[in-house]
Chain A
Amino acid sequence: MGYVSARGGLDAIRAAERLVRRLRLTSESSWLEEDQILEKLRLLVDRVMGEAGLWAPRLAAKALRQSEGDATEAVHLLRAYRSTLPRFAYSEPADADDVSVERRIVPAFQRVPGSQLLGRSVDYTARFLERQSDDLAREEAEKLRSEASGTPDDERSEAHADGDTPQRSPQRLLEMLREMDLVVDRRRADDPEPFDITRTPARPPAARSALLSSMTRADTGALVNQWYRNILGPDGYLHEVTLGEVRHGAIDVEVRHPVTGLPVCVSSVRVTEVEAIEDLEGVDEDRTKFDVGYGLCFGHNERKAIAMANLDIACHRDAGRTQLEQSLLLTTDALDSAGFLEHLKLPHYVTFRSMIERKFAMRKARNRDAS
């Protein structure tokens, strides 16, 4: 129990754990398959992997099943497992320009290089809760399956019909803005080693690589909250936000072969990527140009990547003037915050008894003074 001064209760603790396990495993409903979790709850699986900092879809599905759908608990399980694993290698640097898109929108600009693809999204439609019975939903699923398998290839896509195949890694808006000389050029000439937050806790002032890594595995809700507070809240840092790229796609992970020395693709991971364009208007800034913030995270999690991109540029412009960087580095990790919060449930008898004793002592002192 860490620093909590209590012991005993072992039988009850074991019984409580058994109760959780027994009720989970013996519930009346049919067994929840990993594939069901992976396919039907894909966004939750993605979120858990992102917050755990470990891309392992099957393990994330197992963790979600074990945690009975508690995402933070699933993150805890994944991180605990990851801590038992050796790290075999660092991948070759994957270039974000090589993300092969499944969805790509550019809210800032209508005519961009490459196509805009809405992909798998309900962003533009009203939300209605589907209340039909399971039987009807199953019927619909069967119908859709048979339609998909019966559609001839040449009828599947209007885009293919007009001979204009969408590019898989289209040029990004940032490049276009650079060509128009509309963006501050912050490209580095050197190539510093990235900061590894899994080995050393990042503390301000931190390298940008530490900040990006911290945000990419931060709790999604915490990051959205930080962004909202930064935009509208007491930080009073109201600024013009326009999104450049919002992409969801896959990127190859390559490792160098120890015998041939050549890069070998060992996996392909899905990521969400966002560019946030900032209108510079500070007295010490070049007001004729924009600046850009960047967000990238595992899986399909647009809320997180958007918040990250905006906070990246906000942090750069803030330059340590406020506590933004400290908040991002120290308060947005799901396991840190939830772990500290949940330890409050453990027995604090000694702590609280000492507080009571202090109250009595103060009361006694006050009564003595009064008399």
Chain B
Amino acid sequence: MRSRPERLVELGERCLTSETLRSSLVVTQPPACGTVMVQVREPVRRERFYLGEILVTRCEVRLDAERGWAMIDGDEPRAALAAALCDAVSRTTAEEYEPLRLAIDELCRETREHLAAQEQRRWDQIADTRVKFEEFE
């Protein structure tokens, strides 16, 4: 769900090149925008409160007997549809979908690496701002 939208769409389109997949696919819930209310547990009383909502796109499909579901950050209908499709494919066991399952695993790995690299860049930028203030003696 955290993959870059363009990479998800790319993989979704690849999935749709399969004739078998196309004939077994039903979009049960077309991509639509909505919100998720963010709950936070705060540290003072350890009680929950609502921070606010985030914009997401949700989609659901069925591929044979498998349900595929996705919720994507922002207004990304194509990526949400692609992610729901990938979610369904990832749960199939049929041999013909094996290459797609491998491609999905590959995208997950790429996403993990991308997020880690992003995080590292962020840390590289701020690491020099680490401070130890001294007290007057």
Binding site for B on A (CB under 8 A): 49-50, 52-59, 82, 85-97, 100, 102-103, 105, 110, 115-121, 153, 156-160, 165-166, 168, 172, 174-175, 186-188, 191-198, 208-209, 212-213, 216-217, 251, 253, 255, 257-259, 264-269, 271, 275, 292-294, 296-298, 312
Q: List 23 A-B contacts (CB under 8 A).
A: A49-B52, A55-B38, A56-B55, A58-B75, A85-B55, A86-B32, A87-B35, A94-B40, A102-B122, A116-B131, A117-B127, A119-B126, A157-B123, A157-B127, A158-B128, A159-B127, A198-B50, A253-B54, A258-B67, A264-B71, A269-B38, A292-B44, A293-B44
Contacts of A192 in B (CB 8 A): 47-48
A53 in contact with B128 (CB, 8 Å): no
If A54-B53, A209-B48 touch, does A91 touch B37 (CB 8 Å cutoff)? Answer: yes
Q: Could you tell me the distance between the alpha carbons of A172 and B43 in the complex, rounded to whole angstroms? A: 9
Residues of B within 8 A of A297 (CB): 51
Number of interface residues of B (CB under 8 A): 51
* Contact across chains for A86 and B131 when beta carbons are under 8 A apart: no
Given contact pairs A159-B130, A194-B39, A85 touches B49 in the complex (Cβ within 8 A): no
Q: Which residue of B lies closest to A312 (CB)?
A: B44
**When the two chains form their complex, are residues B52 and A216 in contact, meaning their CB atoms are under 8 A apart?**
yes
Which residue of chain B has the shortest Cβ distance to A115 in the bound complex? Answer: B130
Besides the known contacts A58-B74, A187-B45, A213-B49, 8 further A-B residue pairs in the complex with CB atoms under 8 A apart:
A55-B52, A59-B75, A158-B127, A168-B123, A198-B50, A212-B42, A217-B52, A266-B71
In-complex Cβ contact of B41 among A56, A95, A115 (8 A): A95
User: Considering the chains assembled together, what is the distance between the CA atoms of A90 and B39 in angstroms?
Assistant: 7
Question: Chain A residues with Cβ under 8 A from B123's Cβ?
Answer: 157, 165-166, 168
| CA–CA, A119 and B74, complex, Å | 27
Q: How many angstroms between the C-alpha atoms of A213 and B135 in the bound complex?
A: 37
Instruction: Point out the residues of chain A lying under 8 angstroms from B45, CB to CB.
Output: 186-188, 208
In the complex, are the beta carbons of A259 and B69 less than 8 A apart?
A: yes
In the complex, residue of chain B having the shortest beta-carbon distance to the beta carbon of A291: B44
B41 touches A94 (CB 8 A): yes
Say yes or no: A56 contacts B74, CB within 8 Å: yes
Contact B55 A294 (CB under 8 A): no
Chain A residues with CB under 8 Å of B119's CB are: 100
Q: Contact at A298–B73, with CB atoms within 8 Å? A: no
- How far is B127's CA from A267's CA once the two chains are assembled, in angstroms? 25
- Pair count A-B, CB < 8 A: 214
Interface of B (DSSP majority class): strand
* B44 A266 Cβ-Cβ under 8 A: no
| Residue with the highest number of chain B CB atoms closer than 10 Å, among A118, A175, A195 | A118
Do B130 and A208 touch across chains, with their CB atoms under 8 A apart?
no
Known contacts A55-B52, A156-B124: does B36 contact A89 (CB below 8 Å)?
yes
Q: Is the interface of A mostly helix, strand, loop or mixed?
A: mixed
B41 — nearest CB in chain A belongs to which residue? A93
List of B residues within 8 angstroms of A253 by Cβ: 36, 38, 54
Are B128 and A159 neighbours in the complex by a CB distance under 8 Å? yes
Q: Which of A87, A153, A156 contacts B34 (CB 8 A)?
A: A87
CB pair A266–B36 under 8 Å, yes or no, is: yes
Asked if B130 and A298 make an inter-chain contact with CB atoms under 8 angstroms apart, the answer reads no
Contact check: which of B44, B53, B130, B135 meets A87 at CB < 8 Å? B53
Does B33 count as interface, using CB distance less than 8 angstroms? yes
Contact of A117 among B33, B39, B130 (CB under 8 A): B130
Residue contact B47 to A188, C-beta cutoff 8 Å: yes
* Contacting pair B75 A93 (CB below 8 A): no
Verify B69–A110 contact, CB threshold 8 A.
no
Bound-state Cα–Cα, A59 to B67, Å: 31
* Interface status of B4 (Cβ within 8 A of chain A): no
Point out the residue from B41, B71, B72, B122 that lies within 8 Å of A96, measured CB to CB: B41
| Contact of A118 with B41 in the complex, beta carbons under 8 Å | no
The answer on a CB contact under 8 Å between A269 and B44 is no
Q: Which of B32, B38, B46, B87 contacts A91 (CB 8 A)?
A: B38
Docked complex Cα distance between A195 and B48 (Å): 9
